[in-house]
Each structure stands twice: as structure tokens, then as C-alpha cells.
Structure 1
Amino acid sequence: MVPRGKRDIAQEITDIIIARIEAGVAPWKRPWRTFAGGRPRRALGQAYTGINSLLLWAIADCQGFNSQYWMTRKQAHELGGTVRRGEPSSPSIYFNTFSRAGQPTLTGESSPVTIRFMRSYSVFNCDQIDGLPAHYYPQPMAHQQAEPSQRQAAIDAFFSPIPIEIRHGGNRAFYSPGGDYVQMPPKANFLTSDHHATTLGHEMAHATGAAHRLAREFGRRFGDKAYAFEELVADITAGIVCSELGLPPELHDNHASYISGWLAILKGDKTAIITAAAKAEQAYRWLCGWSDPDGTAAGGRVPVAVVVEAG
């Protein structure tokens, strides 16, 4: 048994994510389809974010859990529930800081040094707990694709206020850093408008990394793998968008070619998936920050410019 305090939680998380990718199931693409409501949620309903969202998605998919709710043993008890004997817990991580005295200077003074650390605590999916209120035990989702029109209002409300130019035409989807625009094939070329929106979410995620937005730079840390890492961030961001809007998670086919690059990064750096999840969360929050909770344009900001389709 690993001594308490010596648990390598970053490596455990990375191993879980790698195992799901190698099994052909990226945790940010499929597991949320097994239950209604999008992301994993805490006992009081708050959605998990960042690496916890990916981690609990992966565990739910692997274990076949239908409930999107997770809680500690104490929380289960307070709600009248009991964790079944022998049920394994899952880690949920949090970050914190503490200060300690730094090295003294020539004058004998020292400045405090802030240390950031990561810890974990144990949670259980509500499928592992008996006696909870009924809403913690939803029925599994019926695997039926909703008509695009059922989601179109939410799609439009999410994307329309974002101040990034979208051009339609040609047969490629990409973000142009030089022109600062997203290029999309004509909407009619997609199987459904849901698939169009899913691909748009991926390319919009790339656009958030521009220097005048979130200024993502991975070159110094990941070297020649920086491009693949940016694709990983965009893919996770698109998965979050899909989850929140209820869209199908499939992206355009060529993204599968990045999987080997993602695995090389994750196997070489146990904290890479934590960084990717944090950057994806930041990108998603930037994108959704342009809309109010009711889906209307936020704060009088300039709406997205849309160029007429060019055939």
C-alpha cells in the first residue's frame, strides 16, 4: 500500500484517461451521453469542472454508472443514504496554497513564498449508494438522436454572440490565426446542423487561444508536440460544448489522427491532462461568457460576423 501522503494522484488520473483513450473512448466525447444533464455533478448539483469533469466522466463510462451525481460518504449519510459495502471510491482533486518563509536576504528579511499543491478526496457515484432521494437515480438515456431543430435555439444562443468571424465555403474546417477567422464548409455539407455546431465548437476553441484572447502558448513546454496538445485542448473544449448543449460528440474525422500524439504527451508528462483540462475549461468559459444564462447576447457586445456561404 502506498503510504498516506505519497499517493501520486496526477499519475493515477493520467493512467485512467490514457486507458480510456486507448480503449477508443475519449472521456470528453462519449460518457456524458449515458446520462442526462451533461457534466458530473456534486451532491448539491454544482457541475464538476476541469480535470474532475474528465476524470469522473471516464470512471462513469468504465464502470457503467448512470447517475451523474457524486458525493462523499459523509454527504451520503447526511442525505439518508448508505454507500454499499465493498464499493470502491473515486478520487476528486482540489488545489490549494500555503505560504512559508523564504530565504533571508542580506538585511535579514525574508519574503513569504506561496506553494501550490494538489490533494484528493474520495467520492462515490450515486449508483453505489442506497437510500438517497429519487432524483439522484435517473433512468439511463434512450440512445435516440434528437432532431436538430430541438437544439437549434440553444446552438444559436451560444454561438451568435461570440465576436469571432465565421466564414462558410470550401471543404475544410479550420481557424486562421493570420486572418483571425473560423472557416467552415457550407452547413448543408454536414450530416445535421448538430454536427456543424460540434465542429464549429472545436474551431472556435482554437480561436480562443489567439494572443489577444487567452494567449495559449505550449511551445516551450511541449516542443514539437505543441500542435497536438492544442488539438487536445480544442477537442476537450468541444466535448464540453457538446455536453452543455446536448450535441452529439463526434468531430470531423481527421481529428482521430491526433490520438497517437495525445497519448505520447500524456505518457511523457503526468500533469499534461490536468493542464489540458484547465485550458479547455478556460476556453469554454471564454466562449460561453458572451451569452447571458438565458441565452441572450451579453452586455451589448458586438455579435459574431458571419460571411455568406461561398458555394
Structure 2
Amino acid sequence: MARHDRSARAGSDRTSLYDDITDKIIAELEAGRVPWVQPWGTPEADALLGLPKNAVTGRQYSGINILLLWGAVVERGFPGQGWLTFRQALSLGGNVRKGEHGTTVVYADRFIPDEEKKRAQETGEEAHAIPFLKRFTVFNTVQCENLPEDVTVAAPPPPPGQIEPTVEALIKATSIDFRIGGDKAFYMPAPDYVVVPPPAAFFEPINWHRTALHELSHASGHHSRLARDLGGSFGSKKYFVEECVAELSSAFCCAALGIRPTVRHADYIGAWIDTMREDNRAIFRAASQASKAADWLLSFLPADEQPAVDAASSIDRRAA
């Protein structure tokens, strides 16, 4: 009975955590703020462009944790993207300041209970893994004191003029069939090619690069690459989920490259909200898949520009 109670309680806590985070993101969207875009737009915020990272390991957070930590930076006015746990601060000879409140991030994985292993052995069937979601607390480096100086210094933004060539080189390196022309941007899954209007068709040249990253994010899902389900018809739940994946992936890529993220399809926000209300894990899966897509695209950067992702301090790359 005790084991059953613990299992039920763990399931309830996991559901509550999915609900808590999903409700927070829905509230932001309903207030007109898009969590993967809203952090940027002022000179102060743009100076912080980049993905949140663990200040000790230097590895970047991924998936839903990017949205949670970006939101904390904006909400609380933190001047940097470096984070660490209470114990990590102590390990560096520093400490979290008294009275500071941390930010919740999550880690997801799967495990096979002993009873399920036994059942699988007895029946010869495949054992079913149970997903779990664990929350833990991190602190921005500005919430700590006595840390080494190299841990607290924010990385400078990329030099101006180096963004566009990087994106263009990335497009070529992916070997995706990338066509320029027409007046609409789209990706065709079956023949596997991307179409983006010429740069002159955009009010700002940088919007061409944002759009290109969005469509390349769709292309990353082709069965020969990351094999996402791209079969959703327009207006279906699958369609809007894939659009959310591409929006997030593009935002993650933009931030990593020093480009201010934007929303390409703001008219889909209502559908995203409805999807999240129906499924409290939808945004977790979309964020996880978006991190995979962004990682795949950014893997074509030169080796010395590769971002490092800390799987142990971020939500895992499986569907939560």
C-alpha cells in the first residue's frame, strides 16, 4: 500500500509540474508576451542575447528550461544568462545570498520499476518504462556572492557584421535544397526543399535570416534527418505543434547566433494555447524537439563555435 501511495503521489506531483509550467506559459501568451521572443527588444535585453548556460560547466540548458530561464531573466531583471545550483556555488567557494529565491528547472527521464521488469521476464513481453519529471532549483550568478570573477562576467555579444555570413554558411553546410524566390516562405516535406523569398522582399534584411532559420527548422524534421511527424494537415493539432517546434527552434538558433528572435506566425498563438490546454505536455515535447532541431542546425557551425549542451542540467531530449 505504501509503495502504491508513493507512486500515486509521484504521479500527482509530475502532473502538477506539467500543469504549473504549462499554465505559466499560457498566461504569458494570453498577456501578449511570447516567452521565446519577449526577453528581447530593448538595448539592455539584446546585450543578453544567447542561451542560458550553467555557469560552472559552461554547458547550455535546453528544451523547456530555456523558456523558464529566459522568463526569469526578464521578470527579475537579471543581467546575465549564467545559472548554478546552491551546491555548485559552494563548490566554487561562493554562496547564494541570504533571502534569494531560485528558479525552477526540470529534468525528465524514464525508468522501469522492478515489478515491471519482473512482469516482462515472466511474460516475455517488452518492459514499459515510466516517465518521470524532477524539479530542481538554480540561481542566477547575480544572486550569489564570492564567486570567481570569470564565472560572473557575462559573455559579450557577437561583433556586428558577423551574423549574416554565419547564417548563409550554415544554410550551405546543411546541404538542404534551399531555393530563393517567389513571395512566400515554406518547406515542402515530400520533395524536401525550402523556399524563401529574396532578401529584398523583407523590410529588414535580418528578417530574411530569421525566416530562413524557421524553414530550415521544419526541414530538420525530414525522415532522413530527425524524423519528426510532418504529416499534419493545415489547421490540425499536428500542424500547429510542428509550427511551434519551428518557432522555438528558430528562436533558439537566433539567440545562439546573436540574432533577436521574432514570432513568424503570431496568428497561430491562439491555436497553441488551445493545444496546450488540451495537453499539458505539448509545450514540453515541442521544446524538446525544438532543441534537437536547433542542435542539428547549429552542429554545422565551425567546431570552435559549437554550443555545448548540458543534458544533465536540462530537460532531456526524449518526449517528456
- TM-score of Structure 1 vs Structure 2, range by shorter chain: 0.7 to 0.9
Q: Which protein has greater RCO, CA pairs closer than 8 Å, 6+ apart?
A: 2
CA distances 1:7-58 after superposition (whole Å, capped 9, x unpaired): 3221222122223222333222242645536111113211101121122112
Distance 1:141 1:37 in 2: 9
Q: Helix, strand or coil for the counterpart of 1:161? A: helix
Deviates more, 1:29-38 or 1:85-94: 29-38
Whether contact under 8 Å (1:266, 1:272) holds in the other structure is: yes
Please name the residue that 1:303 is paired with: none
Of 235, 239, 260 in structure 1, the residue corresponding to residue 251 of structure 2 is 239
Deviates more, 1:82-91 or 1:235-244: 82-91
Q: Helix, strand or coil for the counterpart of 1:194? A: helix
Aligned partner letter, 1:256: A
Please name the residue that 1:129 is paired with: 144
Q: CA deviation at 1:291?
A: 4.1
Of 149, 173, 179 in structure 2, the residue corresponding to residue 167 of structure 1 is 179
Whether contact under 8 Å (2:254, 2:261) holds in the other structure is: yes
Q: CA deviation at 1:173?
A: 0.9
Q: Helix, strand or coil for the counterpart of 1:9? A: helix
Please name the residue that 2:266 is paired with: 256
- For residues 155-234 of structure 1, what are the structure 2 equivalents within 5 Å? 155-217=167-229, 224-234=236-246
Distance 1:189 1:36 in 2: 29
Of 271, 284, 307 in structure 1, the residue corresponding to residue 281 of structure 2 is 271
Alignment CA distance shift 1:82-1:125 (3 Å): same
Whether contact under 8 Å (1:66, 1:138) holds in the other structure is: no
Whether contact under 8 Å (2:214, 2:247) holds in the other structure is: yes
Of 128, 132, 135 in structure 2, the residue corresponding to residue 120 of structure 1 is 135
Please name the residue that 1:19 is paired with: 27
Distance 1:75 1:269 in 2: 35
Alignment CA distance shift 1:173-1:78 (3 Å): same
- For residues 52-201 of structure 1, what are the structure 2 equivalents within 5 Å? 52-99=65-112, 100-102=114-116, 104=119, 113-138=128-153, 147=160, 149-201=161-213
Q: CA deviation at 1:284?
A: 1.5
Alignment CA distance shift 1:88-1:193 (3 Å): same
Aligned partner letter, 2:137: S
Aligned length: 288
Task: Name the structure with the higher helix share.
Answer: 2
What root-mean-square deviation, in Å, do the aligned CA atoms of Structure 1 and Structure 2 show? Answer: 3.2
Aligned partner letter, 1:216: R
Distance 1:159 1:118 in 2: 36
Aligned partner letter, 2:180: H
Whether contact under 8 Å (1:42, 1:69) holds in the other structure is: yes
Alignment CA distance shift 1:152-1:85 (3 Å): same
List runs of 5+ in structure 2 lacking aligned partners.
Answer: 1-8, 307-320
TM norm structure 2: 0.78
Q: Helix, strand or coil for the counterpart of 2:99? A: coil
Runs of 4+ in structure 1 deviating by more than 6 angstroms, as ranges, are 105-111, 139-142
Whether contact under 8 Å (2:251, 2:261) holds in the other structure is: yes
Distance 2:208 2:21 in 1: 32
Please name the residue that 1:302 is paired with: none
Q: CA deviation at 1:112?
A: 5.0
Distance 2:81 2:135 in 1: 19
Q: CA deviation at 1:169?
A: 1.6
Percentage of identical aligned residues: 36
Distance 1:81 1:251 in 2: 39
Q: CA deviation at 1:276?
A: 0.4
Q: Helix, strand or coil for the counterpart of 1:70? A: strand
TM norm structure 1: 0.80
